[in-house]
């Protein structure tokens, strides 16, 4: 294989450019929020001197297929390692060139921290012996974010790097404006609070799953990473996952939280569908920055009410039965909500031939409709979004039903709880899914929303006139639902004053001023509390669902209507989590391969037919038998736990008890104290 060499001074030149006009004090004040105030002033002075006289070392950059993740910096060798896939993507797609530029800045930040704490700290007095070996949390993300917010020259294309292969040289470029937008979105507070240290290396985190336990903790995004084995590249996988992600966040639009369009404003007790959709759109911009780095790309991913929808049991294979006798018809709030299902509704019955609850087939029909839309649209943003929505249903079948439990029964593990009574059907124990109580899922969605949109900003934040932080944008959205229009006017006036101040010479240089104006609403202290209260309300409004949906073991009560929390294997606390995700991964790969080939022009395998084939009772299929048998032989403890009702009493308590909802509420409050 011909070696590929990458040469770049991009990160170094960016730092030289922005630091050139700064005094020693201003330079130090700019970098202290990035690298820390435990670094002595003399170290920052040495760094600035080295930049000015051209002696600052530029790290070696190596293209290395063995690197874990996308890139990392080795503190010992002072080499930045980059995965070849990052380079290949940057050659093909403008947004990937923005990501490469971000990675180079991020890893250069690690290099600077290493120099400050190792080279420049040598020979210091003993009084500075307590300097830490590494800055707290993720200084690489903080440095990249700083550069992304500081304007260093005229807009246009920036030269990022040069690639040399077999004597041929290619120059990689990125649009300046698109790159800075990508940086601000991908290197935000969440990235800055990450910790990517592993030994002597510090990496560029991809933000997926539990890094400490990647083989034991899976979610929709990590499952869909398996689509790479079907042929989909990273950018396509993100676009597909976007459709899946939307189905999760559509659950925020619950009838208890949504205000009817013609109803009086009840902020913050209820929010309009328009406002909730705009909040999810803001989250999507943060969660999928690489899909939206240009205005043209952004247009494909703006979350609209039609794209997001509302919570519909069909889209998650949830049991649509609501046992609350006083429940109102949610379709009177919005026609897109599904009407209530009474206890005697035929959809709640078990089909005797398939041994499955009949409402499951409504979800299968929805999945197949999404697949047909995807097949017709092709590998476009729309097609991949529809494909992701379909895969959400397929994955939820294994996570939200008792398919895993009955698969173990088929292998002779008769003590495993089935979470259903026996029914008059072919296999005795039917496939069932749970009733959705809402509280645990809404809590899990509301907390990251609050973290992303309303948590306090970092110590350093550059102010550009007209530019709005995520918190400011979220408040502007929320205040549309406030019955008093003066609140929104108050916020707009405060931001306009901030913009005027930001135009003053030197405003963005002084660290003290940056901190003061980093919260432009310092004089409007009540406004952020309004936003926090609205998000806290997402949990609060669902607390009264708990008692309605608290039920005993259906195996003892004779019911075929378990709760969502009794069955859900979405989280790794459930003993059958890994078994359910392994089966989902097999199905996703199979359907993914069929869709990839279909989009290429092949017609031998029908994605709809293949996806539908997975919706059976395990006694009517064989594909999972070997997988289940092997898993069971390696997980006797998990089988024992899945046979013990006491374990699930504890799990259900953790998910549904009022004390835990109160705890989630308190955690959210703690974000803003």
With a cut of 80, say whether residue 139 has pLDDT above it: yes
Whether residue 150 is found in the same domain as residue 231: no
Question: Which pLDDT score, from 0 to 100, does residue 502 have?
Answer: 58
Helices 176-186 and 139-149, packing angle to 10 deg: 140
Asked if 315 and 177 sit in the same domain, the reply is no
The mean pLDDT of 142-167, rounded to a whole number, is 79
Alpha helix locations (H) across 503-563?
511-517, 526-540, 545-549, 554-557
* Domain presence at residue 295: no
Token pair belonging to 635: 């997980």
Give the total number of structural domains in the chain: 2
Residue 306's pLDDT band (cuts 50, 70, 90): very high
Instruction: Say what the pLDDT of residue 653 is.
Output: 42
Q: What is the average pLDDT across 493-503?
A: 67
Give every CB contact of residue 347 below 8 A, 6+ residues apart in sequence.
320, 341, 357, 358, 359, 362
The Cα–Cα gap between 22 and 11 comes to 18
The region of weakest confidence among 104-118, 155-169, 368-382 is 155-169
Query: Does 261 reside within a domain?
Result: no
Which of the residue ranges 384-388, 565-569, 570-574 would you say has the lowest mean pLDDT? 570-574
Domain housing 369: 220-255+311-438+542-642
Answer whether residue 631 is part of any domain.
yes
Model confidence at 272: pLDDT above 60 = yes
Q: Kindly state whether residues 106 and 228 are assigned to the same domain.
A: no
Predicted confidence (pLDDT) per residue in 606-626, tens digit? 999 999 999 999 999 999 999
Residues 552 and 635 in one domain: yes
Best CA proximity match to 207, nearest among 218, 188, 194: 194
The verdict on residue 46 lying in a domain is yes
- 555 with 622, same domain: the answer is yes
User: Which pLDDT value is given to residue 659?
Assistant: 32
Q: What is the mean pLDDT of the chain?
A: 79
Select from 114, 124, 107, 128 the least CA-distant residue to 37: 128
Predicted confidence at residue 649, as pLDDT, reads: 58
Predicted local distance difference test score (pLDDT) of residue 246: 95
The DSSP annotation for 464-488 comes to -TT---HHHHHHHHHGGG-S-THHH
- Structural contact between residues 553 and 646, judged by C-beta atoms closer than 8 angstroms: no
Reported as a single tens digit per residue, the pLDDT across 438-447 is 555 565 566 6
- For tokens 């609050």, what's the residue? 450
Identify the weakest region by mean pLDDT among 166-175, 270-279, 419-428: 166-175
Residues 197 and 243 in one domain: no
How far, CA to CA in Å, does 63 sit from each of 88, 123, 462, 535? Answer: 11, 35, 33, 44
Instruction: Report the distance separating Cα 55 and Cα 74, nearest Å.
Output: 21
pLDDT of the residue at 174? 86
If you average pLDDT over residues 562-572, what whole number do you get? 76
Pairing of strands 271-272, 350-351: unpaired
Rounded mean pLDDT, 428-435: 93
pLDDT at residue 209 is higher than 50: no
Segment 577-600 mean pLDDT? 93
Instruction: Please say if the pLDDT value at position 153 is more than 70.
Output: no
Tell me: do 374 and 322 sit in the same domain.
yes
| Reported confidence tier of residue 269, pLDDT bands at 50, 70, 90 | confident
């Amino acid at each position: 294989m011909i070696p590929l060499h990458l040469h770049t001074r991009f990160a170094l030149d960016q730092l030289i450019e922005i630091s050139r006009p700064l005094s020693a004090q201003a330079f130090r004040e700019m970098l202290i929020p990035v690298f820390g105030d435990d670094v002595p002033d003399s170290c920052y002075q040495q760094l600035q001197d080295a930049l000015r006289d051209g002696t600052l070392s530029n790290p070696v950059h190596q293209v290395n297929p063995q690197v874990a993740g996308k890139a990392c910096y080795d503190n010992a060798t002072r080499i930045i390692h980059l995965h070849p896939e990052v380079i290949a993507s940057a050659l093909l797609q403008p947004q990937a060139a923005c990501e490469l530029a971000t990675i180079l800045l991020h890893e250069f930040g690690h290099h600077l921290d290493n120099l400050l704490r190792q080279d420049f700290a040598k020979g210091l007095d003993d009084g500075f012996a307590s300097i830490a070996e590494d800055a707290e949390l993720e200084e690489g993300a903080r440095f990249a974010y700083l550069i992304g917010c500081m304007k260093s020259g005229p807009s246009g294309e920036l030269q990022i790097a040069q690639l040399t292969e077999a004597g041929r040289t290619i120059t990689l470029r990125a649009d300046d404006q698109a790159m800075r937008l990508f940086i601000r979105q991908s290197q935000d507070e969440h990235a800055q609070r990450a910790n990517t240290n592993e030994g002597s290396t510090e990496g560029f985190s991809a933000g997926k799953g539990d890094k400490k336990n990647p083989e034991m903790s899976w979610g929709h995004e990590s499952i869909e990473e398996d689509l790479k084995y079907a042929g989909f590249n990273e950018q396509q996988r993100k676009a597909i996952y976007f459709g899946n992600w939307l189905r999760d966040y559509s659950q925020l639009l619950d009838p208890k939280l949504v205000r009817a369009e013609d109803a009086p404003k009840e902020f913050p007790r209820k929010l309009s569908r328009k406002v909730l959709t705009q909040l999810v759109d803001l989250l999507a911009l943060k969660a999928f920055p690489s899909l939206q780095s240009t205005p043209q790309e952004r247009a494909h991913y703006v979350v609209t009410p039609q794209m997001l929808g509302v919570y519909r049991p069909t889209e998650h294979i949830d049991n649509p039965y609501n046992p609350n006798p006083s429940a109102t018809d949610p379709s009177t709030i919005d026609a897109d909500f599904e009407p209530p299902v009474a206890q005697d509704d035929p959809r709640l019955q078990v089909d005797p031939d398939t041994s499955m609850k009949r409402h499951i087939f409504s979800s299968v029909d929805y999945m197949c409709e999404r697949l047909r839309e995807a097949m017709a649209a092709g590998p476009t943003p729309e097609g991949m979004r529809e494909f992701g929505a379909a895969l959400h249903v397929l994955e939820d079948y294994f996570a939200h039903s008792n398919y895993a439990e009955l698969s173990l029964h088929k292998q002779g593990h008769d003590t495993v709880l089935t979470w259903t009574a026996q029914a008059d059907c072919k296999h005795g124990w039917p496939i069932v899914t749970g009733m959705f109580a809402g509280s645990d899922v809404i809590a899990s969605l509301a907390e990251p929303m609050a973290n992303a949109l309303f948590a306090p900003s970092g110590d350093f934040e550059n102010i550009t006139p007209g530019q709005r932080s995520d918190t400011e944008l979220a408040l502007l959205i929320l205040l549309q639902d406030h019955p008093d229009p003066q609140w929104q006017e108050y916020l707009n006036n405060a931001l306009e004053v901030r913009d005027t101040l930001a135009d003053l010479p030197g405003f963005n240089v002084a660290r003290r001023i940056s901190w003061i104006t980093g919260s432009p609403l310092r004089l409007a202290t009540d406004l952020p509390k309004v936003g926090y209260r609205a998000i806290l309300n997402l949990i609060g409004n669902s607390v009264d669902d708990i008692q309605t949906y608290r039920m005993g073991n259906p195996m003892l009560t004779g019911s075929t209507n378990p709760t969502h929390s009794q069955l859900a294997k979405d989280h790794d606390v459930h003993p059958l989590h890994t078994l359910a995700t392994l089966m989902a991964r097999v199905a996703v790969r199979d359907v993914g391969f069929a869709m990839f080939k279909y989009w290429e022009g092949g017609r031998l395998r029908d994605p709809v037919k293949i996806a539908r084939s997975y919706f059976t009772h395990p006694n009517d299929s064989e594909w999972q038998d070997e997988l289940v048998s092997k898993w069971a032989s390696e997980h006797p403890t998990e089988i024992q736990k899945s046979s013990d009702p006491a374990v699930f009493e504890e799990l259900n308590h953790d998910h549904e008890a009022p004390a835990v909802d109160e705890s989630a509420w308190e955690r959210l409050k703690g974000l803003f104290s």
